[in-house]
A and B are shown apart, each in its own frame.
Chain A
Amino acid sequence: MSVVCFVEQDAEGVIVDSSLRAVTFARMLSDQSGEEIVAVALSARARGSGGAGPGSLDGAGRNPAEGSLSEGVGQQGHEVLGAYGVGDVCLLVLPRTVGYAPRALATGLAQLAGAARASAVIAASTDHGNEVMAHLAALSHLPMVANCSEARRVGPTTLQLSRQRWGGSLIEDSVLEAAVALLTVATDEVAPVLAPAASEPAARTFTPELAETDIAVRAIESRDATSGVSLANAKVVVSGGRGIGGAEGFAAVEQLAGLLGGAVGVSRAVTSLGWRPHSEQVGQTGTRVSPDLYIACGISGAIQHLAGCQSAKVMVAINTDPQAPIMGRADYAVIGDVNAILPALVDALSQRSR
Chain B
Amino acid sequence: MDILVCIKRVPMVGGRISLTPDGRGVDTEMLGFTMSPHEECAVEAAVRLVERDGGSVTALTLGPPEATDQLRDAIAVGANAAILLKTDGREWGPTATAAAITAVAEQHQAQTGRPYDLLLFGNEAADTGDYQVAVRVAHLLGHPCATGIKQLEVDVHGVHARREYRGVTELFELPLPAVLSVKEGINLPRYPSLPGRMRAKKAQIDEVDPEWQGDGLKLDGLRVPISERRQAAILGHGVEAVPALVDLLERLGVLS
Contact = CB atoms under 8 A, between A and B. Distances in A.
Nearest to A176: B217
B135 A345 contact: no
Contact of A171 (B136, B222, B229): B222
B228 to A, nearest CB: 9
- A contact face: mostly helix, strand, loop, or mixed: mixed
A328 B95 CA distance: 38
Size class of the contact patch on chain B: 35 or more
B122 to A, nearest CB: 9
A235 B233 CA distance: 22
A145 interface: yes
Interface string B126-165: 1111111011101110001111100000000000000111
B132 A334 contact: no
A204 interface: no
Contacts of B244: 334
Interface string A323-354: 01101111111111100110011001100110
A128 interface: yes
A154 to B, nearest CB: 11
Contacts of B112: none
A210 B221 CA distance: 41
Interface residues of A, number: 102
A166 B13 contact: yes
A142 B94 CA distance: 11
A217 B144 contact: yes
A332 B248 contact: yes
Nearest to A221: B168
Contacts of A241: none
Given A176-B217, A293-B254, A300-B15, A332 B232 contact: yes
A143 B229 contact: no
A171 B255 contact: no
Contacts of A336: 237-239, 241
B232 A317 contact: yes
A138 B132 CA distance: 8
Contacts of A349: 246, 249, 255
B95 A285 contact: no
Given A11-B168, A169-B13, A171-B225, A134 B235 contact: no
Nearest to B173: A220
Interface in B39-67: none
Contact of B184 (A133, A278, A332, A345): A278
User: In this complex, which of B37, B128, B132, B235 has the most chain A Cβ atoms within 10 angstroms of its Cβ?
Assistant: B132
A271 B173 CA distance: 28
A75 to B, nearest CB: 23
A284 B122 CA distance: 13
Nearest to B216: A143
Nearest to B128: A165
Given A11-B166, A134-B131, A221-B170, A303 B13 contact: yes
Interface stretch (A21-29, A64-72, A223-231): A223-231
B231 interface: yes
A301 B127 CA distance: 18
Contacts of B139: 135, 138-139
A174 B218 contact: yes
A137 B232 contact: no
A274 interface: yes
A220 B230 contact: no
Nearest to B26: A170
A190 interface: no
A48 interface: yes
**Top 5 nearest A-B pairs by Cβ distance?**
A278-B185, A325-B15, A143-B216, A138-B139, A219-B170
Interface of B: 13-17, 26, 37-38, 93-95, 124, 126-132, 134-136, 138-140, 144-148, 163-174, 183-185, 188, 215-225, 227, 229-239, 241-246, 248-249, 252, 254-256
